[in-house]
Amino acid sequence: MHIVDGALSAPVLVSGAVLAIVGVFIGLKKMDYDQLPLVGVLASVFFIASYIHLPLGFSSVHLIMNGLLGILLGWVAFPALLVALLLQVVFFGFGGLLVLGVNTLNIALPAVIVYYLCYRGVRHESAKVAAIWGAIGGASAIVLTSIMVAFSLALSGESFVLAAKAVLPAHIPIMVVEAFVSYAAVYLIHTVKPEFITKESI
């Protein structure tokens, strides 16, 4: 999921960075200082989600959960994910420094799209219906992210097209897992603390 430094071409890097900066800027505009603790804590939860490695056949996948983050945070997902990815690259060596913009865009833009897609559905009064929307959000965020990763690779050169084509099928298992996990998470939140999800989001 994290693209490393050196693989992408300069135009892709620059346009990714510019778009990510625009997204971060919009996110920061929408966020008050009062919401900082909430956003910081939620971003940390999603950072922790990537610790969770689920076994899958011979290997394992880790959760990304950008769909659910988008549903909760909307545009604020941009700054939250930028900071999370920055900490991951500096202290864990995930991804790269110059591709930070592209990586942020690839994960945060699907989150924002899912926010607009599932905003109403997740706030449905029936827990089951809301959970199904949560699952749709979780799965479609992964689909969108993998499409964007594939595009950023394919746009960087002819030789990456095969790798780009491999990205999509590789993400299908993660998509299925993420849909189930999101379903359960939304269902639980709806049952235990409905006001958290039904109140106006940030």
Partner 1 sequence: MSKLEHSLTSWSGQALKHQPSLIDGIDARVRIVCAGLFALVVVSSVAFLPALLGLLLAFFLVKMAKLNIKRTLRRVVAMDLFMLTLICILPFTTPGDPMFTLFGLAASWQGLAHALLITIKANAVLLVLFSLVATMSASTLGHALAHLKMPNKLVHLLLFMVRYLDVISLEYKKMRRAMQARAFVLGCDRHTWQSIGYLFGMLLIRSVERAERILGAMKCRGFCGRLYLNDEMKITLSDRFFGLIFFCFLILLIGLNIDAT
As measured in angstroms, the least distance from the Cβ of 199 to partner 1 is 10
**How far apart, in whole angstroms, are the C-alpha atoms of residue 175 and residue 55?**
14
Of 186, 40, 41, 189, give the one whose Cα is nearest residue 118.
186
Considering the complex, state which of residue 117 and residue 179 has its C-beta at the smaller distance from partner 1.
179
Residue 66 contacts residue 175 (beta carbons within 8 Å) = no
As measured in angstroms, the least distance from the Cβ of 63 to partner 1 is 8
Q: With binding defined as CB under 8 A, does residue 126 bind partner 1?
A: no
**How far apart, in whole angstroms, are the C-alpha atoms of residue 62 and residue 55?**
9
Considering the complex, state which of residue 94 and residue 151 has its C-beta at the smaller distance from partner 1.
94
As measured in angstroms, the least distance from the Cβ of 91 to partner 1 is 5
Complete DSSP assignment for 55-79: EETTEEEE---HHHHHHHHGGGHHH
Strand ranges in 93-187 using DSSP code E only, listed in sequence order: none
Q: With binding defined as CB under 8 A, does residue 90 bind partner 1?
A: yes
**How far apart, in whole angstroms, are the C-alpha atoms of residue 65 and residue 142?**
8
As measured in angstroms, the least distance from the Cβ of 53 to partner 1 is 6
As measured in angstroms, the least distance from the Cβ of 190 to partner 1 is 9
- What's the CA dihedral at 9, 24, 93, 88 to 10 degrees? -160
**Residues 46 to 75 in contact with partner 1, rule: CB under 8 A:** 47-57, 60, 62-63, 65, 68, 72
Q: Which two tokens stand for residue 113?
A: 């799209």
Considering the complex, state which of residue 119 and residue 187 has its C-beta at the smaller distance from partner 1.
187
Q: With binding defined as CB under 8 A, does residue 42 bind partner 1?
A: yes
**Residues 1 to 40 in contact with partner 1, rule: CB under 8 A:** 4-7, 10, 24, 28, 31-34, 36-40
Q: Which two tokens stand for residue 117?
A: 């897609």
**131 to 170: interface string for partner 1, x by CB under 8 A:** ---------------------------xxxxxx--x----
Residue of 125, 126, 169, 192 that binds partner 1 (CB under 8 A): 192
**How far apart, in whole angstroms, are the C-alpha atoms of residue 111 and residue 138?**
9
Considering the complex, state which of residue 94 and residue 119 has its C-beta at the smaller distance from partner 1.
94
